[in-house]
A and B are shown apart, each in its own frame.
Chain A
């Protein structure tokens, strides 16, 4: 006999963990490059479709297929930075923002052309789930998603705080000109940040693909929710992005699960939570100043 509360908490944790991976990428790019990357959701979709190609179409095992998909999206993220965003780095932030909107539409259309409008499934196995302590049901994919989110988030925080490269990225987010004077290579910093955020998006996309199947617009919904999570936690804050994502994940599941909000309005929940928190803390939950990549 499964417990409804335990099941909803688990569902919330899974949804929040996947959202956190997407939100972290968004907040990193905003924190360092200084604009909102609207095509981030499409990188999530590319991660999922990459997995479809390597695992389902080419028949690779899950792990190497996942690694190959993430690697491709990382290189693609770095490529986008070099080709599209580097030339306009010194321009008004609206310019890269508009480019990213165009890129988002282009990538959606390319996915539609190459893979068609139909739903695709990555899984070639029967859908499995197991009971955890008789309290709730979990799937192997969900378990892996939560563990991967925890490891990647911890790794990212360690990277930003404890490594020389991470510290240089934080310096760039703090004051790009000063960091450059002190010898930080801005091009390299941007490459790193676009690569890391693309990699996080791809990992989220793979797990989302297993969890909810694939369709060309799959990146749109998750990225809109991730925007809400990032703003909720405060733009540019790593801790804020994680907090925002988990808050939205739990809120969506618990508020709908216990009938506080009708299930038909669940997509409005991130924004209701966002409005509620911004009314109390206009700079977001962890917002104190405009300093980026805070803990």
Chain B
């Protein structure tokens, strides 16, 4: 009886601690619940579709690929726990994510300490560049988002702007460069994550009579309620947003006219449509029977996955994380769904933002006045 018990325990423990198949396992940390879940779930769906496609076409290193998803909730503490599970229990060599900067920054120390590759396709906080040797970013730095909006606002001759920031890593990076680059007067207000009532902030802004308003959130759930209350406050004037509000038509329902009337402009990923991107989006649509949202993010994430797979092919060993790291630092002119890019000495892909304007249905590239 005692022997049977030990045998059962040994089988149970081995089942818990080591993969019992020959699949190549990667980890992913995304917000699957909470305020950013809509975006996180969309990226998860895209990864599932991509993995299915890859496995149908021979997998990687002649083995199937599997992604183990963990919920980071856009929260550094939760992301730290998720990274610990992926690294220590699942023993993955690579983590894709996080989505929000707090998630990425929460997971980064665990990945770095355990020499596991962490590659984010979305997070924009400035400090990610210094997060470690094994930490990579295939997305633009948030501060450049602030810069292009500041430059555009200055070019338009706007004298006074109300800047409303969510108190989180990415919006604060955007804010920093906006303050550095904008020439005019700024009236600044901030709000805590999860805030769902902006009437007081909007009343204060209306009282200041700015020429324009720059709403700079981390979580796009605040966008809809802020805009609703802004409409009810009868706001009139130029509107600016960061890229978190781009790519989801459901966010603009019922306020399309308002956004268009007030020349809503956002900084968004500079992603030019190309055949690879079209294929990624088609695979998503085939798998989930609907068009993908947040298309610019999906293209970046696709490229992150394929960078890792290219590195694994090069090293021939998915667990050679130092080899993968060295490969990534050597990436030059990688052609992907998001365009052509290289990785610099900080592990950043050096991508940029471009301005997009609301055209009645969606934010799209536009011809700027000289």
A213-B201 in contact (CB<8A): no
CA distance A121 to B221 in the complex (A): 12
CB-defined contacts of A259 to chain B, threshold 8 Å: 204
Judge whether A213 and B200 touch: CB under 8 Å: no
A213-229 at interface with B (beta carbon < 8 Å): 213, 215, 217-218, 221
Tell me the bound Cα distance from A259 to B205 in angstroms. 12
Contacts of B55 in A (CB 8 A): none
Docked pose: A265 CA to B233 CA in angstroms? 22
Measured CA separation A166–B277 after assembly (Å): 66
- Taken together as a complex, chains A and B put the C-alpha atoms of A97 and B33 apart, in Å, by 25
CB distance from A140 to the nearest CB of B (A): 10
A263 B206 Cβ-Cβ under 8 A: no
CB proximity of B247 to chain A, nearest CB, Å = 13
Minimum CB–CB distance for B38 against chain A, Å: 5
The segment from A111-119, A240-248, A281-289 that touches chain B is A111-119
Chain B, interface residues (CB within 8 Å), range? 35 or more
Is B203's CB under 8 angstroms from A263's CB?
no
Q: Which residue of A lies closest to B36 (CB)?
A: A117
Contact pattern, B 176-195, Cβ under 8 Å of A = 1, otherwise 0: 00000000000001111011
Q: Which of B196, B200, B233, B254 is A212 in contact with, Cβ under 8 Å?
A: B196
> Within 8 Å of chain A (Cβ to Cβ): is B13?
no
Interface string of B226-266 (1 = CB under 8 A from A): 00110111100000000000000011011100000000000
Q: Is A61 positioned at the interface, with any CB of B under 8 Å from its CB? A: no
Contact, CB under 8 Å: B199 / A266: no
* Chain A residues whose C-beta falls within 8 Å of the C-beta of B232 in the assembled complex: 127-129, 137, 139
Q: Is A253 interfacial (CB-CB < 8 Å)?
A: yes
List chain A residues, Cβ under 8 A from B204.
Answer: 4, 256-257, 259, 263
Q: Note all chain A residues with C-beta closer than 8 A to B200.
A: 8, 11, 252-253, 256-257, 263, 266
A264 to B112, CA, bound (A): 32
- The interface on chain A, measured as residues whose beta carbon lies within 8 A of the other chain's beta carbons, has a size of 38
Chain B residues lying within 8 Å of A252, measured Cβ to Cβ, are 200
Please name all residues of chain B whose beta carbon is closer than 8 Å to the beta carbon of A230 when the two chains form the complex.
none
Residue from the set B189, B191, B196, B234 with the largest chain A CB neighbour count within 10 Å: B196
B224 and A119 contacting across the interface, CB-CB below 8 Å = yes
Is the CB–CB distance between B190 and A127 below 8 Å?
no
Q: Is B167 an interface residue (CB 8 A)?
A: yes
For the complex, give the distance between the alpha carbons of A257 and B207 in Å. Answer: 10
Give the residue name and chain of the A residue nearest to B254 (CB).
A121
For B12-35 the 0/1 string (1 means CB < 8 A from A) is: 000000000000000000000111
Q: Chain A residues near B224 (CB, 8 Å)?
A: 119, 121, 213
In chain B, positions 154-169 with a C-beta closer than 8 Å to chain A are 167
Contacts of B203 in A (CB 8 A): 4, 7-8, 11, 257
Say whether B37 faces chain A, with CB atoms less than 8 Å apart: yes
| Contact between B190 and A263, CB atoms less than 8 A apart | yes
- With A and B bound together, what is the CA distance between A211 and B197 in angstroms? 8
Interface core residue of A4, A119, A253 (most chain B CB under 10 Å) = A119
Least Cβ distance of B245 to chain A in Å?
A: 12
A266 to B233, Cβ gap below 8 A? no
Residue of A nearest to B32 (CB): A117
Do A119 and B225 have beta carbons less than 8 Å apart? yes
A117 touching B225, Cβ below 8 Å: no
Q: How far is the CA of A218 from the CA of B194 in the complex (A)?
A: 9
Alpha-carbon gap, A60 to B195, bound state (A): 30
Question: What are the residues of chain B within 8 A of A112 when measuring CB–CB?
Answer: 33
Check B331 for interface membership: any CB of A closer than 8 A.
Answer: no
Tell yes or no: A267 within 8 A of B by CB. Answer: yes
Instruction: With CB as the reference atom, state the residue of chain B lying closest to A259.
Output: B204
Q: Does B48 contact A (CB under 8 A)?
A: no
Contact with B along A250-274 (1 / 0, CB 8 A): 0011001101001111110000000
> Would you give the shortest CB distance from B34 to chain A, in whole angstroms?
7
Q: Is B60 at the interface (CB under 8 A from chain A)?
A: no
Q: Which residue of B lies closest to A222 (CB)?
A: B196
Residues of B within 8 A of A4 (CB): 203-204, 207
- Which of B189, B200, B221, B224 neighbours the largest number of chain A CB atoms within 10 Å of its CB? B200
Instruction: Answer yes or no: B41 CB below 8 A from chain A CBs.
Output: yes
Residue numbers in B under 8 Å from A118 (CB-CB): 37-38, 221, 250
CA distance A2 to B35 in the complex (A): 33
User: What chain A residues lie within 8 Å of B221 (beta carbons)?
Assistant: 118-119, 215
Min CB distance, B261 to chain A, in Å? 12
List 29 A-B pairs, Cβ < 8 Å. A4-B204, A7-B206, A11-B203, A15-B199, A112-B33, A117-B33, A117-B35, A117-B38, A117-B41, A118-B37, A118-B250, A127-B231, A129-B232, A129-B233, A137-B233, A139-B232, A211-B197, A212-B229, A213-B224, A215-B196, A221-B196, A253-B200, A256-B204, A257-B200, A257-B203, A264-B189, A266-B192, A266-B200, A267-B194
Q: Which chain A residues have a beta carbon within 8 Å of chain B's beta carbons?
A: 2, 4, 7-8, 11, 14-15, 112, 116-119, 121, 123, 126-129, 137, 139, 211-213, 215, 217-218, 221, 252-253, 256-257, 259, 262-267
Given contacts A213-B196, A215-B196, 17 further A-B contacts (CB under 8 A): A7-B206, A117-B35, A117-B38, A117-B41, A118-B38, A118-B250, A119-B251, A121-B224, A121-B228, A127-B232, A128-B232, A253-B199, A253-B200, A256-B200, A263-B191, A266-B195, A267-B192
